[in-house]
Amino acid sequence: MERSFEAEVELLKLGRGQAFHGEGILAVTKALLQSGVSYVGGYQGAPVSHIMDVLSDAREIMDELGIHIETNASEAGAAAMLGASINYPMRGAVVWKSTVGTNVASDALSNLASAGVKGGALIVIGEDYGEGASAIQERSHAFAMKSQLWMLDPRPNLPTIVHMVEKGFELSEASNTPVFLALRIRACHLHGSFEAKDNRSPLISRRHLLQNPDFDFGRVCLPPSTYAQEKHKTEVRWPAAVKFIREHGLNEFFAGAGTQPSDDVGIICQGGLYNATIRALQQLGLSDSFGATKIPIYCLNVTYPLVPEEVMQFCAGKRALLIIEEGQPAYIEDAVLAMLRRQEVIGAKVHGKDVLPSAGEYTNEVVLTGVARFVETSAPRGLDTAYIPKVHQRLAAAKSAAAELLGAPIPPRQPGFCVGCPERPVFSAMKLVERETGAFHISADIGCHTFSALAPFNIGNTVLGYGLGLASNSAVDSMFGRRTVTIMGDGGFWHNGLTSGVANAVFNKNDGILLIMKNGYTSATGTQNIPSSPHQTEYKSRDMGIEKTLAGLGVKWMKTVHNYRVSDMAKTLKEAMTSSFQGLKVIIAEGECQLERQRRIRPQNAERLGRGQRVVRERFGVDDDTCSGDHSCIRLSGCPSLTVKPSTDPLKLDPVAHVNNGCVGCGLCGEVAHAAILCPSFYRAEIVQNPGAWDRFLHLVRQTLIGWLQPQERKAA
Report yes or no: 484 and 477 within 8 Å, Cβ to Cβ. Answer: yes
How many CB atoms are located within 10 Å of the residue 329 CB?
Answer: 14
Specify the domain boundaries for CATH 3.40.50.970 within the chain. 6-207+215-247, 424-596
What does the pLDDT look like over 671-686, one tens digit per residue? 887 777 777 888 888 8
Task: With CA atoms as reference, report the closest residue to 90 among 198, 236, 208.
Answer: 208
Q: How far apart are CA 404 and CA 398, in angstroms?
A: 10
pLDDT at 156 over 70: yes
Q: Is 66 left (phi over 0), alpha (psi -120 to 50) or beta?
A: left
Q: Is 269 left (phi over 0), alpha (psi -120 to 50) or beta?
A: beta
pLDDT at 716 over 70: no
Band of residue 714 on the pLDDT scale cut at 50, 70, 90: low
pLDDT for 313 equals 93
Q: How far apart are CA 446 and CA 376, in angstroms?
A: 45
What does the pLDDT look like over 134-153, one tens digit per residue? 778 888 999 999 999 999 99
pLDDT for 455 equals 87
Mean per-residue pLDDT, 649-669:
87
pLDDT for 2 equals 44
| The listed CATH number (3.50.20.10, 3.30.70.100, 3.30.230.10, 3.40.50.970) that belongs to domain 6-207+215-247 | 3.40.50.970
Task: With CA atoms as reference, report the closest residue to 274 among 324, 332, 335.
Answer: 324
pLDDT at 543 over 80: no
| Average pLDDT value over all residues in the chain | 90
What does the pLDDT look like over 358-375, one tens digit per residue? 988 899 999 999 999 999
**Buried/exposed 458-473: b ≥16 CB within 10 Å, e otherwise:** ebbbbbebbbbbbbbb
C-alpha separations of 259 from 227, 383, 702 in Å: 56, 10, 83
What phi, psi does 7 have (nearest 5°)?
-70, -45
pLDDT at 68 over 50: yes
Report yes or no: 668 and 564 within 8 Å, Cβ to Cβ. Answer: yes
Q: How far apart are CA 157 and CA 159, in angstroms?
A: 6
Task: With CA atoms as reference, report the closest residue to 261 among 155, 380, 172.
Answer: 380
Specify the domain boundaries for CATH 3.30.70 within the chain. 614-716
User: What percentage of the chain reaches a pLDDT higher than 70?
Assistant: 97
> For residue 476, with 0-12 CB atoms within 10 Å meaning exposed, 13-18 middle and 19 or more buried, which class applies?
middle
Task: With CA atoms as reference, report the closest residue to 512 among 547, 550, 473, 551.
Answer: 473
Report yes or no: 570 and 433 within 8 Å, Cβ to Cβ. Answer: yes
Task: With CA atoms as reference, report the closest residue to 672 among 457, 375, 393.
Answer: 457
What does the pLDDT look like over 514-541, one tens digit per residue? 999 999 988 887 788 888 888 887 778 8
Mean per-residue pLDDT, 314-336:
94
Q: How far apart are CA 611 and CA 600, in angstroms?
A: 18
Q: How far apart are CA 176 and CA 105, in angstroms?
A: 19
- C-beta contacts of 336-339 below 8 A and 24+ residues apart: 336/268, 336/306, 336/311, 339/306, 339/308, 339/311, 339/312
Query: What is the pairing mode between strands 19-23 and 68-71?
Result: unpaired
Higher pLDDT pick, 132 / 202: 202
Strand partners, 20: 194
Mean per-residue pLDDT, 561-581:
95
pLDDT at 279 over 70: yes
Q: How far apart are CA 594 and CA 517, in angstroms?
A: 13
We find that the CATH architecture of domain 424-596 is: 3-Layer(aba) Sandwich (3.40)
pLDDT for 4 equals 61
Mean per-residue pLDDT, 560-575:
95
The listed range with the strongest mean pLDDT (96-105, 239-248, 422-431) is 239-248
What does the pLDDT look like over 182-217, one tens digit per residue? 998 888 889 999 999 999 999 999 999 999 999 999
Q: How far apart are CA 442 and CA 24, in angstroms?
A: 40
Higher pLDDT pick, 378 / 717: 378
Mean per-residue pLDDT, 10-27:
94
Strand partners, 529: 521
Report yes or no: 97 and 125 within 8 Å, Cβ to Cβ. Answer: yes
**pTM of the shown model:** 0.89
Terminus-to-terminus CA distance in the chain, angstroms?
51
Start-end of H helices in 120-221: 141-147, 158-175, 185-189
pLDDT at 3 over 70: no
Within 8 A by CB and 6+ apart from 231, the residues are: none
What single-letter DSSP state applies at residue 65?
H
Helix pair 331-342, 308-315: axis angle to 10 deg: 80
Band of residue 415 on the pLDDT scale cut at 50, 70, 90: confident
We find that the CATH architecture of domain 252-405 is: 3-Layer(aba) Sandwich (3.40)
**Buried/exposed 7-35: b ≥16 CB within 10 Å, e otherwise:** ebbebbebeeeeebebbbbbbbbbbbbbb
Instruction: Tell me the fold of 614-716.
Output: Alpha-Beta Plaits (3.30.70)
Band of residue 49 on the pLDDT scale cut at 50, 70, 90: confident
Strand arrangement, sheet containing 39-42: 68-71, 39-42, 92-97, 121-126, 179-183, 150-152, 302-304
Band of residue 1 on the pLDDT scale cut at 50, 70, 90: very low
Q: How far apart are CA 308 and CA 312, in angstroms?
A: 6
Q: Is 337 left (phi over 0), alpha (psi -120 to 50) or beta?
A: alpha
What does the pLDDT look like over 295-311, one tens digit per residue? 999 999 999 999 999 99
pLDDT for 132 equals 62
pLDDT at 495 over 90: yes
What does the pLDDT look like over 251-270, one tens digit per residue? 999 987 665 667 899 999 99
**Looking only at Cα atoms, what is the longest distance across the chain?**
98
